[in-house]
């Protein structure tokens, strides 16, 4: 009786004289569609992840997909030199602004107070580092208060790699003086949406939202 294998009608190959032909049978097996094969090289699903290129299961720690040979390391791991130079430039601006804001707190009482904090939902505001009118500096926003807390710790510890790693979790920066709208508040943080950047390079951040220190979200 004919057999059905892989949706195909198959009659066992027989050698001359009625014997079974193993060579022809193996050739038929090799011709079966690859969809019948197991595309996963991982036995434990908890130790697997999907390749971003071919969507097949691969080991979590794999640096290259064994199926499509794609390099699946993080972008900054594949471009360490460019990443290092960019990190030094960006973090230098962040730290200079952070240090400048702390310097502003030691000014004499006769110094005029800065602009008021914007804390009303829907209020138009600006991102400004305290005591700094330099629009070349940048202000960073985090997607959640918890990530902003991690960002503050990394700045205090001058853990530049830690700050860079947080960009993979949604941390982003715009230039000092960017226009924003207040959309949420907490005890010490304010969530804003970027309306207009202070520099043309901020254009791709317009519409994005994130949390910042309340003292950096001001009315003018």
What's the burial of 81, exposed, middle or buried (CB within 10 Å: 0-12/13-18/19+)? exposed
Instruction: Kindly list the distances between the CA atom of residue 218 and the CA atoms of 144, 165, 176, 213, in Å, as whole numbers in the listed order.
Output: 20, 28, 11, 10
**Residues whose CB is less than 8 angstroms from the CB of residue 152 and which lie 6 or more positions away in sequence, other chains included:** none
Question: Is residue 199 over pLDDT 50?
Answer: yes
pLDDT confidence band for 133 (50 / 70 / 90)? low
Residue pair 149/172 in contact (Cβ under 8 Å)? The answer is no
User: DSSP 3-state assignment of 200?
Assistant: helix
Long-range contacts of 114-120 (CB under 8 A, 24+ apart): 114/218, 115/218, 115/219, 115/220, 116/218, 116/219, 117/190, 117/214, 117/215, 117/217, 117/218, 117/219, 118/182, 118/190, 118/217, 118/218, 118/219, 119/182, 119/185, 119/190, 119/214, 119/217, 120/182
Instruction: Kindly list the distances between the CA atom of residue 144 and the CA atoms of 67, 71, 202, 219, in Å, as whole numbers in the listed order.
Output: 36, 30, 20, 23
Above pLDDT 70, what percent of the chain?
Answer: 58
Q: Name the range with the highest mean pLDDT among 11-20, 63-72, 100-109, 139-148.
A: 139-148
Lowest mean pLDDT among 38-42, 70-74, 193-197: 38-42
pLDDT digits (tens, 9 = 90+) for 74-132: 655 655 665 565 666 666 666 555 554 444 443 334 444 557 888 899 999 999 887 76
- Sheet with 189-196, strands from edge to edge, namely 209-213, 189-196, 179-185, 124-127, 217-218
* Residue 95 confidence (pLDDT): 58
Question: Is residue 190 over pLDDT 80?
Answer: yes
Above pLDDT 90, what percent of the chain?
Answer: 24
In whole angstroms, give the CA distance from residue 89 to residue 69.
Answer: 33
In whole angstroms, give the CA distance from residue 126 to residue 91.
Answer: 21
């Amino acid at each position: 009786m004919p057999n059905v294998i892989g949706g195909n009608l198959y009659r066992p190959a027989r050698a001359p004289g009625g014997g079974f032909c193993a060579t022809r049978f193996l050739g038929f097996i090799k011709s079966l569609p690859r969809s019948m094969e197991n595309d996963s090289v991982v036995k434990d699903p908890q130790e697997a992840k999907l390749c971003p290129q071919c969507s097949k299961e691969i080991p979590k720690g794999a640096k290259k997909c064994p199926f499509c040979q794609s390099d699946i390391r993080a972008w900054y791991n594949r471009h360490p030199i460019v990443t290092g130079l960019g990190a030094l430039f960006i973090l230098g601006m962040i730290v200079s602004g952070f240090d400048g804001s702390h310097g502003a707190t030691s000014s004499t009482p006769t110094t005029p107070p800065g602009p008021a904090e914007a804390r009303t939902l829907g209020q138009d505001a600006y991102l400004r580092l305290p005591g700094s009118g330099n629009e070349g500096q940048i202000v960073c926003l985090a997607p959640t208060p918890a990530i902003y807390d991690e960002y503050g710790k990394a700045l205090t510890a001058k853990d530049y790699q830690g700050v860079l790693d947080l960009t993979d979790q949604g941390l982003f920066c715009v230039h000092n003086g960017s226009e924003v709208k207040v959309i949420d508040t907490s005890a010490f943080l304010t969530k804003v949406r970027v309306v207009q950047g202070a520099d043309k390079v901020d254009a791709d951040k317009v519409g994005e939202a994130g949390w910042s220190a309340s003292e950096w979200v001001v009315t003018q």
